[in-house]
Amino acid sequence: MAITASMVKDLRTKTGAGMMDCKKALSATNGDMDKAIDFLREKGLAAAAKKADRIAAEGLVYSYIHGNGRIGVLVEVNCETDFVAQTANFKDLCKDIAMQIAAANPTYLKREDVPQEVLDHEKEVLRQQALNEGKPEKIVEKMMVGRLEKFYKENCLLEQEFIKDSDKTIQQVITENIAKIGEKIDIRRYSRYELGEGLEKRNDDFVSEVMAQAK
């Protein structure tokens, strides 16, 4: 059964789960709304979404230094209680997020953080690219939407592919941990430092290095 945007929207309204999770649930249940709701409940995703309005003021400022001392990350990850902040699961999540930042070097935390002038510039570049490829003007706008989504996925931490599992985004990893831990979890802010940043230097494959340490 074809899964429509209206079906996804309806399921999201009923459960509060994310768009991609709703689409996956509907696909897994062949479009059956009741079964899709159960699917999300079983995975804890519907319950996780309902925690979005809670206050998360505890947590950790987690530090990660890449093994050769050339990359350092500080990231603040919030939860609701100090008890959860001290658990192994939460600390493992913080480490995964810090390693993601070290490896993938996101420019922004989420798409809402991208300044309008950056978006305007990116749209113009993408528009010219499409026109230079000889694409008809009438489909250029549609192409820009898809290419802008790619920009978000490459530059926004929450939308990046998880370095340990490319089938998941960082937002999905957080949502799964909310369901597992039972508290709201937020990434509030982060800083990434790279030795000699801004200076002329050789270009190493830091993603491969960080991934090697993650194993």
pLDDT more than 70, % of the chain: 84
**Encoded tokens for 194:** 């790279």
pLDDT of residue 209: 67
Residue 85 and residue 9 in one domain: no
Residue 70 and residue 98 in one domain: yes
Give the domain range for residue 23: 5-49
Residue 99, domain CATH? 3.30.479.20
Highest average pLDDT, of 34-38, 72-76, 143-147, comes from 72-76
Average pLDDT rounded to a whole number, residues 31-51 = 73
* Contact assessment for residue 79 and residue 183, using Cβ atoms and an 8 Å cutoff: yes
Residue 104 and residue 203 in one domain: yes
pLDDT of residue 157: 97
Could you give the 3-state DSSP secondary structure of residue 191?
strand
Q: Which of 76, 85, 18 is nearest to 48 (CA)?
A: 18
Residue 10 and residue 98 in one domain: no
Residue 163 and residue 208 in one domain: yes
Residue 98 has pLDDT above 80, yes or no: yes
Residue 154 has pLDDT above 70, yes or no: yes
* Contact assessment for residue 45 and residue 175, using Cβ atoms and an 8 Å cutoff: yes
- Whole-angstrom CA distances from 201 to 18, 83, 91, 196 are 41, 43, 33, 7
- 108: number of Cβ within 10 Å: 16
Check residues 9 and 88 and name the one with the higher pLDDT: 88
Residue 106 and residue 163 in one domain: yes
Residue 32, domain CATH? 1.10.8.10
Query: How far is the C-alpha of 194 from the C-alpha of 109, rounded, in Å?
Result: 18
Residue 97 and residue 169 in one domain: yes
pLDDT category, 214, cuts 50, 70, 90?
low
Residue 41 and residue 82 in one domain: no
Residue 26 and residue 132 in one domain: no
pLDDT category, 124, cuts 50, 70, 90?
confident
Question: How long a stretch of residues is the chain?
Answer: 215
Check residues 154 and 43 and name the one with the higher pLDDT: 154
pLDDT category, 91, cuts 50, 70, 90?
very high
Residue 35 and residue 123 in one domain: no
The domain tally of the chain equals 3
Q: What are 53-77's pLDDT values in tens digits?
A: 676 779 999 999 987 889 999 999 9
Average pLDDT rounded to a whole number, residues 35-48 = 71
pLDDT category, 203, cuts 50, 70, 90?
low
Residue 102 and residue 165 in one domain: yes
- φ, ψ (nearest 5 deg) of residue 4: -95, 165
Residue 47 has pLDDT above 60, yes or no: no
Check residues 187 and 37 and name the one with the higher pLDDT: 187
Residue 15 has pLDDT above 90, yes or no: no
Residue 127, domain CATH? 1.10.286
Alpha helices per DSSP H over 16-136:
19-28, 33-43, 45-49, 82-85, 88-104, 116-132
Residue 63 and residue 32 in one domain: no
